[in-house]
Structure 1
Amino acid sequence: MTASLSGVVALLEGGQRDGELRDFDPLMMARIIRRTLDAEGARVAHGAPVDAVIDELIATFSRATRSAP
Protein backbone atom coordinates (compact mmCIF):
# COMPACT_ATOMS: atom_id res chain seq x y z
CA MET A 1 0.00 0.00 0.00
CA THR A 2 2.80 2.43 0.86
CA ALA A 3 4.33 2.24 -2.63
CA SER A 4 0.98 2.93 -4.30
CA LEU A 5 0.55 6.06 -2.17
CA SER A 6 3.88 7.61 -3.13
CA GLY A 7 2.28 10.16 -5.47
CA VAL A 8 -0.18 11.31 -2.82
CA VAL A 9 2.61 11.51 -0.24
CA ALA A 10 4.67 13.61 -2.65
CA LEU A 11 1.74 15.99 -3.20
CA LEU A 12 1.19 16.37 0.53
CA GLU A 13 4.90 16.96 1.16
CA GLY A 14 4.95 19.58 -1.59
CA GLY A 15 2.00 21.35 -0.02
CA GLN A 16 3.80 21.35 3.32
CA ARG A 17 7.00 22.74 1.76
CA ASP A 18 4.99 25.51 0.08
CA GLY A 19 3.27 26.37 3.36
CA GLU A 20 -0.18 25.48 2.02
CA LEU A 21 -0.56 22.51 4.38
CA ARG A 22 0.13 22.22 8.10
CA ASP A 23 2.70 19.84 9.52
CA PHE A 24 1.42 16.26 9.74
CA ASP A 25 2.66 12.78 8.84
CA PRO A 26 2.19 12.67 5.03
CA LEU A 27 2.14 8.87 4.84
CA MET A 28 -0.48 8.62 7.58
CA MET A 29 -2.64 11.26 5.87
CA ALA A 30 -2.29 9.51 2.50
CA ARG A 31 -3.42 6.25 4.10
CA ILE A 32 -6.37 7.99 5.74
CA ILE A 33 -7.37 9.53 2.41
CA ARG A 34 -7.10 6.18 0.61
CA ARG A 35 -9.17 4.31 3.21
CA THR A 36 -11.78 7.05 3.26
CA LEU A 37 -12.12 7.05 -0.52
CA ASP A 38 -12.50 3.27 -0.52
CA ALA A 39 -15.16 3.33 2.19
CA GLU A 40 -17.11 6.27 0.78
CA GLY A 41 -16.91 4.86 -2.73
CA ALA A 42 -18.64 1.76 -1.42
CA ARG A 43 -21.31 3.92 0.24
CA VAL A 44 -21.93 5.78 -3.01
CA ALA A 45 -22.14 2.48 -4.87
CA HIS A 46 -24.90 1.50 -2.46
CA GLY A 47 -26.90 4.68 -2.93
CA ALA A 48 -25.35 7.43 -0.79
CA PRO A 49 -25.76 10.84 -2.46
CA VAL A 50 -22.58 11.56 -4.44
CA ASP A 51 -22.63 15.35 -4.07
CA ALA A 52 -23.13 15.19 -0.30
CA VAL A 53 -20.27 12.71 0.08
CA ILE A 54 -17.97 14.84 -2.09
CA ASP A 55 -18.84 18.03 -0.20
CA GLU A 56 -18.21 16.40 3.17
CA LEU A 57 -14.91 14.85 2.09
CA ILE A 58 -13.66 18.17 0.74
CA ALA A 59 -14.65 20.00 3.92
CA THR A 60 -13.16 17.35 6.20
CA PHE A 61 -9.81 17.03 4.48
CA SER A 62 -9.50 20.77 3.90
CA ARG A 63 -9.87 21.35 7.63
CA ALA A 64 -7.55 18.47 8.47
CA THR A 65 -4.68 19.68 6.29
CA ARG A 66 -4.86 23.46 5.91
CA SER A 67 -2.08 25.55 7.33
CA ALA A 68 -4.23 28.38 8.72
CA PRO A 69 -7.49 28.26 10.70
Structure 2
Amino acid sequence: MLMSQSGREARLRYLANSFRVLVPGDHVTCAVSGQTIPLDKLKYWSVERQEPYASAEFSTKAELGL
Protein backbone atom coordinates (compact mmCIF):
# COMPACT_ATOMS: atom_id res chain seq x y z
CA MET A 1 0.00 0.00 0.00
CA LEU A 2 1.38 3.42 -0.96
CA MET A 3 1.31 6.11 1.68
CA SER A 4 0.60 9.71 0.71
CA GLN A 5 3.28 12.25 1.64
CA SER A 6 0.76 15.10 1.52
CA GLY A 7 1.03 17.31 4.57
CA ARG A 8 4.22 15.67 5.88
CA GLU A 9 7.42 17.61 6.40
CA ALA A 10 10.36 16.11 4.53
CA ARG A 11 13.86 15.73 5.96
CA LEU A 12 16.53 16.62 3.44
CA ARG A 13 20.29 16.55 3.07
CA TYR A 14 21.27 19.83 1.39
CA LEU A 15 24.02 19.50 -1.22
CA ALA A 16 25.82 22.15 -3.30
CA ASN A 17 23.42 22.07 -6.26
CA SER A 18 20.62 19.81 -5.11
CA PHE A 19 19.18 18.05 -2.13
CA ARG A 20 18.57 14.43 -1.19
CA VAL A 21 15.34 13.32 0.46
CA LEU A 22 16.09 11.42 3.68
CA VAL A 23 12.50 11.23 4.93
CA PRO A 24 9.74 11.65 2.32
CA GLY A 25 7.32 14.55 2.58
CA ASP A 26 5.93 17.36 0.48
CA HIS A 27 7.45 20.41 2.20
CA VAL A 28 10.12 21.83 4.51
CA THR A 29 9.98 24.78 6.92
CA CYS A 30 12.01 27.96 6.39
CA ALA A 31 14.67 28.23 9.11
CA VAL A 32 14.20 32.01 9.40
CA SER A 33 10.50 32.73 8.84
CA GLY A 34 8.85 29.43 9.71
CA GLN A 35 7.02 29.46 6.37
CA THR A 36 6.11 26.17 4.71
CA ILE A 37 8.03 25.63 1.46
CA PRO A 38 6.73 23.01 -1.00
CA LEU A 39 9.65 20.88 -2.23
CA ASP A 40 8.94 21.81 -5.86
CA LYS A 41 9.41 25.51 -4.90
CA LEU A 42 12.55 25.09 -2.74
CA LYS A 43 15.36 27.19 -4.26
CA TYR A 44 17.40 28.47 -1.32
CA TRP A 45 19.29 26.56 1.38
CA SER A 46 22.58 26.45 3.24
CA VAL A 47 24.82 23.44 2.79
CA GLU A 48 26.92 24.57 5.77
CA ARG A 49 23.98 25.03 8.15
CA GLN A 50 21.77 22.36 6.52
CA GLU A 51 18.67 24.58 6.56
CA PRO A 52 16.14 25.76 3.96
CA TYR A 53 14.94 29.31 3.26
CA ALA A 54 11.73 30.61 1.68
CA SER A 55 13.53 33.38 -0.24
CA ALA A 56 16.89 34.93 -1.04
CA GLU A 57 16.12 37.61 1.57
CA PHE A 58 15.76 35.00 4.33
CA SER A 59 18.90 33.24 3.13
CA THR A 60 20.84 36.51 3.37
CA LYS A 61 19.44 37.22 6.85
CA ALA A 62 20.61 33.79 8.02
CA GLU A 63 24.04 34.31 6.48
CA LEU A 64 24.42 37.69 8.19
CA GLY A 65 23.02 36.41 11.49
CA LEU A 66 20.10 38.84 11.47
| Greater RCO structure (CA 8 Å; 6+ sep) | 1
Q: After TM superposition, is the score higher than 0.5?
A: no
More strand by share: 2
Give TM class, smaller chain: under 0.3
TM-score by length of 2: 0.21
Considering fraction of residues, name the structure with more helix: 1
